[in-house]
Amino acid sequence: MINDDIPAPAPAPARTYTLIGPDGRPYTSTTPGTLGGYRRDRLYGRLDCPSALRFIAAGGYVSNRVFFPDEATAIAAGYRPCAKCLPEKYRQWKTRGTPES
């Protein structure tokens, strides 16, 4: 027997993500970031960066973790590439000051 008096459950709210914009300020997005970063050292890297994952697993890093929609935004916000997961971009940054996107 179906009870028509019971209202349908409300749809779940859309998931949101806090990303960092080119001005370095956080904003809310419905699209997750493609790169992660470490606010204290102002570096960015892949979400699967082994170095970042080690720090996170050890209980550190999380409170200073930030996310970016893309590399151009991370660079505009003043972040540098990670030497571990983006070694070529890091070498370019060390040589020229900014990596090529």
Q: What is the pLDDT of residue 20?
A: 96
The closest of 22, 86, 65, 36 to 100, measured between CA atoms, is 86
Q: What is the pTM of this model?
A: 0.80
Sheet holding 43-46, edge to edge: 65-68, 35-38, 43-46, 80-81
Whole-angstrom Cα distance, residue 59 to residue 53?
10
Residues 73/22, Cβ–Cβ less than 8 Å: yes
pLDDT at 101 over 70: no
For the chain, counts of helices (H) and of strands (E):
3, 6
Q: Which two tokens stand for residue 64?
A: 């200073």
Domains of the chain: 17-96 (3.40.10)
Using one digit for the tens of pLDDT, what is the confidence trace for 18-60? Answer: 999 999 999 999 999 999 999 999 999 999 999 999 999 998 7
Q: Which two tokens stand for residue 45?
A: 């890297």
pLDDT at 91 over 60: yes
Q: What is the pLDDT of residue 51?
A: 93
The closest of 46, 38, 29 to 77, measured between CA atoms, is 38
Mean pLDDT in the chain? Answer: 91
More confident residue, 85 or 13: 85
